[in-house]
Structure 1
Amino acid sequence: MSVNKIRYVVDNNLCVRCGTCVGVCPLNAITLNDRNYPVKNSSCTGCGHCIEVCPGIDVDFPELTMQLFRKRFNINGLLGFFTNAYAGYALDPDIRANASSGGVITQLLIYLLEKKIIDGAIVAVTDPEAPCQSKPIIAKTKDELLQSMQSRYTIIPVNQLFGKIRQMEGKFALVGLPCHIHGFRKLANIDPVIRDRIYLVLGLYCNLNLEQEATLDLQKISRISQKEIKNFEYRGGEWPGAIRITKKNGNTHNLHYSNYKDGAFNYLSRLYYAKRCLYCIDGSSELADISFADPWVQDGNGDWVFKGGWTLIFERTEKGGMLLAEAERDHAIFLKRLYGYSMFKRFINNINKKRKMALVRLSNLKNKNKPAPEYHVDDPTIPVKDRLKEYIFSLTLVFGKYEGVRKIITAIIFSRIGISLTKLRIFLKYRVSNIRLSNRRF
C-alpha cells in the first residue's frame, strides 16, 4: 500500500493532521506541507504502516477500549471509562497563574521529570521562529515544560515526533488531543518500541480545533508585526484568559474586550473550524491514562464554583491514578475529588452535543456514499430533533467556508462595533440566566 493512499485520506477530508504517519514511517518518506497535511515522497516502498496507524480512516473504539480498560465501549457513555474525577490545581503559584486552567498537566510533568519517572514529554510550544504558530517538541527540562503552558487552539502534528522517540532511550509522556491519542494507540499495537517508550498518555478535552489562519488573521487585525511578537495566547492573563499578544518589549495587548469563555473564541470556532473535527466522536480523550479539561461548574446562583485556575481531571487507568496520588502526596498538586455527575454536567452536555452531531454527520456521509471515518460502533437511531439541531448548527458554519467572508466577519468582531455587540450579548446572556435562576428559587 503506497503513500498514494495517504493522498486519498487527505483528498477526502479524512486526515486529522496528527502526524502519526510521519512518526511511523521507517524511511522518513512522508513529510508535512505548510498546512500540516502529509505529502508524497518518492522513497516510499509501500509498506502500508502509515495507513495501518491512521486514526483519520479508522479507530476501533470497542477493541481499544477493551485492550486498555477491559471494559466494553459504550457509545452513550460520553465520558468514557474513568475511576475518579477531580478538580485540582498546581501548588506552584506561578504555574497555576500562568497556565490556562490550573496548571496540573505542567506541574505533573515537572514532578515526574524531577522524580526521574519520565525522561521527557512530547508537548507543544510556541515556535520561536514564528511566534503566532506552535510546534511539538520533546521537552527534557523544566524550562521546556514551562514553555508548553497555555492552550493552543490550532493544528499541531504532535505524533510526527514518534520517529525521534524511537531512536531515544528512556520513558516519555505524551500530551495530546483525542486524535493524537487514537494514533498513538494504533501505533502502539504494531510498534513495541513506541509502546515501551511512551509511558504515560495525558489527554486534553477537545470540542474542535482551529485552522492556523485564525491566528494569522488575528495578528494582521492587531496591526502588530510578527517581528515584534514574542508570544500569541488564546487564554493569556487572569482566568479564564483572553486572546492576547505579548510583544518582545514585554508589553501585552488584548485583542478583544471579553475573556475566552464569553467572547470572541465562540465566533472563531464557527469561522475557522477544522472540518475533520466535525466527524470526531471523542471529546474527552477516552483512551488516555488521565484526561484534563476546564471545570465549567456553576452553583445555584449561576456563579463559577472553580475560579482562579482549576483543572477538571478524569483518572482512567491504574497507572494514571497512582501517579496522581504520588504527586498529591508530595505536594506537587492539589486534588478535590468530585462526586456525582452534576459536578460536571456542563462538560457532559458539551461532549454529548459533540458526539450526537458527529454521528448525524457520519450518517449523512454514509447515506451519500461518501468516505467516512469508521469507529466500529453500531449505527444508532438518530432522532429527528438531533438531525434538526445539527442542521441548524451547520448553518452557523457556512461563512467559514469562504476565506474572504470570514476575514471580513472577523475584522468586524474585533472592531469597536463588534466589541459593543459582544458586550450586549454578554449582558443579555447573564440577565436571562439570572431570571431563570430566580424563577427556580421561587
Structure 2
Amino acid sequence: MSSKDLRTAVDKVVRNGNCTGCGGCALLASNIEMELDSDGFMRPVFRKDFVDSSPDMTRVFERMCPGISVTERTDPTLSHHPTFGKYFSSWEGRAIDETVRRTGSSAGVLTALSAWLIDSDKTGRVIGSARDAVRPTRTVPVSITSREDALRSAGSRYAPVANLPLLKTDGADNAFVGKPCEASAAKQLFDMAGVSDESRPIVLSFFCAGTPSQNATEGLIRKLGVEEESVGTLDYRGNGWPGDFRIGLVDGTDREMSYQESWGGHLGRNLQWRCKLCVDGTGGHADIAVGDYWHADAKGFPVFTDAEGTSVVIARTRRGEELLQEAAAAGIVSLSPLDLRKVAAIQPLQVTRKNTLLARLIGRRLGGKAVPRYRGYKLGRLALSDMPNSAKSLLGTYRRTIRRMGPNR
C-alpha cells in the first residue's frame, strides 16, 4: 500500500469529523505530527517527507483508529454495566497522601498510582499530560519519571493533547495515562500485534465527557480579563474538589472561576464532534479507570460544592485489579467496594449519552456524514430504554449536521 492510501484513510476520518485527536496515527507513522487546527483541536498533519514505512500501515490504522471503529471487550468472565461497560471490580477510592489527594482533580488516585508505579519499579516511566512549561495556556504530553513529575502533572487538563505518540510499543517498561479513546487505540494496536497482557504497558484512564477546543480555554482567559502573555500557570481543576479554574499571573495574583461555570458554561459547550458520538467515555479499554464520585443532593443530582475528593475506581482487567490491591496494601490508595448503580445515579451525563448514542449516530448518517462502527455495545437495547430522549437526539444531531458541515462541527 502506498503512502497515499494512509493519507486518504486519515483524511477521511478528519473530514467526517470523527478524529478524536488521540495521535494513534502519529504513533504509527513518525512523519505524521499532531497540531492544533483553526478550530482549536488536535489533528494529524503529514510532513512533506512522509513515506509509508510498512505496506500494512493503512490496515493497522483502520483497525486501531477510534474514529473508525471501537469494539467492546469480549472477556466472558467480566461483569457488565450498561453505562460503564465491562469490568473486574469497582471501588470508591482516594489517595492516602493528603497532598496528592488535594492536588489531583478528584481524589488523586491516578496521580498516586503513577508515582507508585515508578517508585516501586513497576515501570520506568508513565506517559501523561501536563501544563506546557513554556506556554502554560497549552497542554502537552509528558514523560513522568518521578513523584515530583507526577505531582506536576496532577489535575485534569480540559484541552486538546495527544499522548499516544510518546508510547513505546516495543516493551512494557512504560505505563500510560490517557483519554478513553487513546486507551482504545492502544489496546487495538497491541491486540493486532499479539502482545501478551503481561508485556503490554499498564494503561490508566479516566471518565471523559469530551475534549474542549483550545479556543474555549483562550476564551476563558479573555473572559477573566487576562492577556495570554501574562499567564504564569493555568489549572482547570485541583486544590479542592472539584476545584476552580485558576490562572496564576506572572505578577503573583490569581484569577478564578468555578468548575460549574468554567466547564458547564464554556469548556463543555465547545467539544469536538467525535466526542458527541463517543461510545466509551469511562475508560473501558484501560486496566484501571477513575472518575468523580460526586456527592448528591436529596433528589440524587450531583453537587459541585467544594469538598474532599472521592473517586470511583474501576478495575477493567485482572492485572488492574491486582495493581489496585497491591497499591492499597502498600498504603497508596484507600478502597472500599462500590456498586456501579450508585455511580450511574450521580453520573447522569454518561448514562444519557450512552442511551441516546444510537440516535445521534443515525442523525449524523442522515446528515451525510460517516460515523464510527461500534461493536458489542448493545446500543439498540439502550436506545429503546429512553425513546423520548433518543428521538430528540436524532433530530437535533441531524439538524446540527446539515447546518454546520465543517469537519469539527
Pick the TM interval, shorter chain.
Answer: 0.7 to 0.9
After superposition, the C-alpha distances for 1:355-395 in whole angstroms (9 at most, x for unaligned) are 12322111123345531111135662645412344268769
Residue among 144, 163, 169 paired with 1:139: 144
CA distance in 2, matches of 1:196, 1:135: 28
Give the aligned partner of residue 288 of structure 1: 286
Name the structure 2 match of 1:11: 15
8 Å Cα contact 1:328-1:335 kept in structure 2: yes
Matches of residues 64-83 of structure 1 in structure 2 within 5 Å? 65-66=73-74, 69-70=75-76, 77-83=82-88
8 Å CA contact 2:359–2:394 kept in 1: the answer is no
Q: Which aligned pairs between 1:267-306 and structure 2 lie closer than 5 A?
A: 267-269=265-267, 271-298=269-296, 300=298
Q: Is the 1:208–1:277 Cα contact (8 Å) retained in structure 2?
A: yes
Of residues 46, 50, 60 in structure 1, which corresponds to 2:61? Answer: 50
What RMSD, in angstroms, separates the aligned Cα atoms of the two structures? 3.1
Q: CA deviation at 1:107?
A: 0.7
TM-score (ref. length: structure 2): 0.84
Task: State the shift of 1:130 in Å.
Answer: 1.4
Aligned pair in 2 of structure 1 residues 306, 86: CA closer, same or farther (>3 Å)?
A: farther
State how far apart, in whole Å, the 1-side matches of 2:87 and 2:295 are: 19
What amino acid is the match of 1:281?
Answer: V
Structure 1, 326-335 or 364-373: larger mean CA deviation: 364-373
Aligned to 2:373: 374
Partner SS, residue 296 of structure 2: coil
| Structure possessing the higher radius of gyration over alpha carbons | 1
| Matched-pair contact (CA < 8 Å) for 2:366–2:398 | no
The whole-number CA distance in structure 2 between the counterparts of 1:98 and 1:73 is: 32
Q: Do 1:55 and 1:183's aligned partners in 2 also have CA atoms closer than 8 Å?
A: yes
For 2:100, the equivalent position in structure 1 comes to 95
Q: What's the offset of the Cα at 1:10?
A: 0.9
Aligned residue number for residue 335 of structure 2: 335
Is the CA contact (8 Å cut-off) linking 2:114 and 2:126 kept in structure 1? yes
Q: 2:337 & 2:390 partners in 1: Cα distance? A: 37
Whether the 8 Å contact between 2:94 and 2:109 is mirrored in structure 1 is yes
TM-score (norm 1): 0.79
CA contact 2:213–2:267 (8 Å) conserved in 1 = no
Secondary structure of the structure 1 residue equivalent to 2:284: coil
2:360 corresponds to: 361
2:233 aligned with 1:231: yes
Displacement, 1:194? Answer: 10
What secondary structure, in the 3-state scheme, does the structure 2 residue paired with 1:5 have? helix
Q: 1:130 aligns with which of 127, 135, 160?
A: 135
Contact 2:118–2:124 (Cα < 8 Å) also in 1: yes
Does structure 1 conserve the Cα–Cα contact (< 8 Å) formed by 2:132 and 2:140? yes
Unaligned runs of 5+ in 2: none
Q: Secondary structure at the match of 2:18?
A: coil
Instruction: Quote the offset at 1:344 in angstroms.
Output: 4.5
* Residue 389 (structure 2) pairs with residue 386 (structure 1): yes
Equivalent position to 1:22, from 21, 26, 40 = 26
| 1:275-324 residue CA offsets vs partner (Å, 9 max, x unmatched) | 11011111211111111000024265869699411111112211111111
Take 1:325 and 1:86, find their aligned partners in 2: how far apart are those partners? Answer: 11
Q: 2: CA distance between counterparts of 1:323 and 1:365?
A: 40
Deviations 1:159-200, CA, capped at 9 Å, x for gaps: 1113xx247x65221111111011101111234679776431
- Deviation of residue 213 (structure 1)? 0.5
**What's the counterpart of residue 312 of structure 2?**
312
What is the rounded CA distance, in whole Å, between the counterparts of 1:340 and 1:130 in structure 2?
39
* 2:148 alignment partner, SS class: helix
Q: More helix per residue: 1 or 2?
A: 1
- Equivalent pairs counted in the alignment come to 386
The equivalent residue for 1:248 is 250
Q: Which residue of 2 aligns with 1:60?
A: 71
Q: Which amino acid is 1:20 matched to?
A: G
Matched, 1:108 2:96: no
Whether contact under 8 Å (2:68, 2:371) holds in the other structure is: yes
- Measure how far apart 1:135 and its partner are: 0.7
Unaligned residue ranges in structure 1 (runs of 5+): 404-442
Per the TM alignment, residue 220 of structure 1 is displaced from its structure 2 partner at its CA by 2.3
1:168-207 to structure 2, matched below 5 A, reads 171-191=173-193, 198-207=200-209
Give the partner amino acid of 2:93. G
